[in-house]
Amino acid sequence: MPDEPAGPLMYVAMALGLGLIIVLLVVTVVALIVLLVSHIGLWKIFTKSGRPGWASTVPVYNAIVLLDIIGRPTWWIGPLCLPVVNIVYGVWLGLDLAKVFGKGVWFGLGLVFLHPVHMLILGFGRARYLGHAPPGALPPIRQPRYTTPPTQM
């Protein structure tokens, strides 16, 4: 049997295997680019909030520092490790991160669903770190963006 020539089915199997390898390499490169872009944004967010940028490179410590930035207790690390609960806490974390930089709910949802882009916007944009409010404090009153023009008589 080993002396039989390879049939066309073997070439098809080899081509499919090579195609799968190429797809996996492309997906890996794209994932690494997304990870790098997110990390650059997180570094800038840390420096904007007065924390050292290198803290964004240490795996568990960066989550602790991020929780400190948004004013949440350190025990939130636990729920962030639980499979379904982490989704709820992740959305909450994104909304709180947007809030401490003076952004609204839609930007917070952008941090959750379009993470790398909004991390860059938050890190390199004009947003300033406002700090977190103490528990039970009222949110700051926002000034209106537009004023109505005076009426003419």
Note the pLDDT tens digit of each residue in 66-117: 999 998 999 989 998 899 999 999 999 999 999 999 998 999 999 999 999 9
pTM tops 0.85, yes or no:
no
State how far the alpha carbon of 18 is from the alpha carbons of 10, 51, 63, 141, 145, in Å: 12, 46, 39, 59, 56
121-152 pLDDT tens trace: 999 999 899 887 665 554 555 555 555 665 66
Q: pLDDT at residue 1 above 60?
A: no
Are 118 and 111 in contact, with CB atoms under 8 Å apart? yes
6-32 pLDDT tens trace: 677 888 888 899 999 999 999 999 999
| Inter-helix orientation angle 8-48/59-70, to 10° | 40
Query: Which pLDDT value is given to residue 146?
Result: 59
Query: Which pLDDT value is given to residue 3?
Result: 60
Q: Which residue has the tokens 């709180």?
A: 96
Q: Which helix (H) or strand (E) holds 124?
A: helix 115-124
